[in-house]
Copies of this chain bind each other. A is one copy, B any other.
Amino acid sequence: MSTGHQLPPGTGDGDAAASSRPPAPEPTHAERARTLVAGANRGVLSTVALDPAGYPFGSVATYAIDDAGRPIVFVSTMAEHTRNAAADPRASLIVTEAFPEGSDPLAAGRVTLIGDLLEVGGDDRPAVRGRYLAANPASAYYIDFGDFSFWRLELRSVRYVGGYGRMSWVEAADYAVAEADPLAGEPAIGILDHMNADHGDSLVVMARVLGGRADATEAAMTAVDRYGFDLVVGGPSGRAALRLGFDAPVAMPAAVRPAMIRLVERARREA
């Protein structure tokens, strides 16, 4: 784990102080940003327009990321954004989390990566070509066209918005070394489905004993990451969100099951 976990500002568990439980660990905003960007392959690129001069110009772009999380786009030399970037490299790429049709788009996560968009030189081309092609299989039809080129966004700063009131500026250096969550995407969906379908009783016991919700009668898992998981817990005192942490970060999906069993067994012993 190249970056330790920290509590992002303003996301502490308000209940923790009252019950003297330590706050459950959670991903940093740098890690959440990196996870979101790594989990998608398209966004909106903003460049500085040549005409009308100086206006910020939004366009659709598909991308891959390199080891430092920098986006690599593959663009036609005739496209507006390419001509804009050739004249002025200042740019940003915003990537938004997928959300169900009809839900509030402002509640979904998004990341704006800000920096300088520079053409990738010939020596780097084979490496970025492989990455881009892997992330965008549809590009196989034109990836070797002569009038397309690769450009890399050299990052200056990163804006993370996790939804209403959960946002911060992230240092580009922190984003560069942050690791995407190993459970993001399909593994997390599978874990949530399995826990909610087959282990509701275990979730309630954990909420009661480990989460300080002694009155819990129902609990549903709403998110999971390497550091722990989020529950919505219901009982006579009402419904509230609750976060519980694993004893140690899990490095891969297969490590979730033993980590979860350890928590459940401890909760049952102490119940």
This protein's copies in its complex: 2
Q: How far is the CB of A92 from chain B (nearest CB, A)?
A: 5
Let me know if A91 is at the binding interface, CB within 8 A: yes
Interface residues of A: mostly helix, strand, loop or mixed? Answer: strand
Within 8 A of B (CB), among A62-88: 62, 80
**A93 and B54 in contact (CB under 8 A), knowing A46-B46, A80-B159?**
no
Let me know if A110 is at the binding interface, CB within 8 A: yes
**A57 and B112 in contact (CB under 8 A), knowing A46-B46, A94-B44?**
yes
Chain B, residue nearest A138 (CB): B104
Per the CB 8 Å criterion, the residue count for chain A at the interface is 40
With a CB–CB cut-off of 8 A, which chain B residues contact A161? 59-60
With a CB–CB cut-off of 8 A, which chain B residues contact A5? none
Proximity bits, A149-173, B CB within 8 Å = 1, else 0: 0000000110101000000000000
The residue among A56, A57, A115 with the most chain B CB atoms within 10 A of its own CB is A56
Let me know if A46 and B52 touch, CB within 8 A: no
Let me know if A106 is at the binding interface, CB within 8 A: yes
Let me know if B91 and A55 touch, CB within 8 A: yes
